[in-house]
Structure 1
């Protein structure tokens, strides 16, 4: 068991002949007591500081652990957000590709339809031109015939030519 300042203070030394000077020994012991008490106080202060520092260290260790967990959670959340964004981007691209394919197919279909309509209109125009040419040629033939000098009044004209003219016009 360690000595206390009281133990040093109460220590009695035996007396002998030709021993040490009692006042010097008492002064030295008083000095030791003062120094020993100061060391004990310093030791207690240091122990209190150690306890305080250990508490702070524990607090900072908790903060560090919390921060580590927070960083891990944040990293996981960031990874999840990144993954979700990638999936969403892929879905958007697929949807855009589908829309593009649909638009292209619709455009091709309309293009084919318009091409068929153009061809039909060309055929109808050719038929119309042929009929019109025939009509004009028939009219020219009529104009070039000799009988114009002898024009008859409309009532005396034969009704036989009317169906032929209508046929040509149609």
Structure 2
């Protein structure tokens, strides 16, 4: 058990002949008691500081552990977001490719339809040109005859055709 200031104060020494000066010993013991009390008080303060520091260290260790866990969770969340973004991008690309294929197929279908229509219009234009040529030739033939004023439409079937349309 450690020595206390009270133990030092109450310490009694035996007396002998030609011993130490009692007042000097008492003064020295009083000084030792003061110094010892100061050391004990400082030691208690240091122990309190150590406890305080230990509590703070524990607190910061807990914060560090929490931050580490938070960083891990955030990293996992970031990885998940990145993976989801990749999947979504792939879906968007596939959808865009489907739309592009549909647009191309629609365009090809429309192009074929327009080509057919153009061919039909060319045929109609050719027929129209042939009829118009026939009409113009008939008119030129009529103009080249001398009796064009007295013509009977019944004698010229091509005129009958032109008058019907």
TM-score by length of 2: 0.86
The alignment status of 1:141 with 2:141, answered yes or no, reads yes
How far apart are the structure 2 equivalents of 1:149 and 1:20? 177
How far apart are the structure 1 equivalents of 2:18 and 2:149? 192
CA contact (8 A) 2:5 2:33 kept: yes
Match of 2:150 in 1: 151
Q: Which runs of 5+ in 1 are unaligned?
A: none
Q: How many residues get paired?
A: 164
RMSD of aligned C-alpha atoms?
Answer: 2.3
Match of 2:40 in 1: 40
The alignment status of 1:166 with 2:160, answered yes or no, reads yes
Match of 2:81 in 1: 81
The alignment status of 1:9 with 2:6, answered yes or no, reads no
How far apart are the structure 1 equivalents of 2:4 and 2:153? 161
Q: Aligned with 1:3: secondary structure?
A: coil
Pair 1:113–1:25, CA change in 2 (3 A): same
| Deviations 1:7-41 (CA, angstroms, capped at 9, x unpaired) | 11111111112111111111111111111111111
How far apart are the structure 1 equivalents of 2:12 and 2:141? 168
TM-score by length of 1: 0.84
Q: Aligned with 2:150: secondary structure?
A: coil
Provide runs of 4+ in structure 1 moved above 2 Å.
138-146, 149-152, 161-170
Match of 2:53 in 1: 53
| Deviations 1:56-107 (CA, angstroms, capped at 9, x unpaired) | 1111111111112112212221222222122212222221222122112211
CA contact (8 A) 2:135 2:158 kept: no
Pair 1:14–1:145, CA change in 2 (3 A): same
How far apart are the structure 2 equivalents of 1:52 and 1:150? 134
CA contact (8 A) 2:153 2:159 kept: no
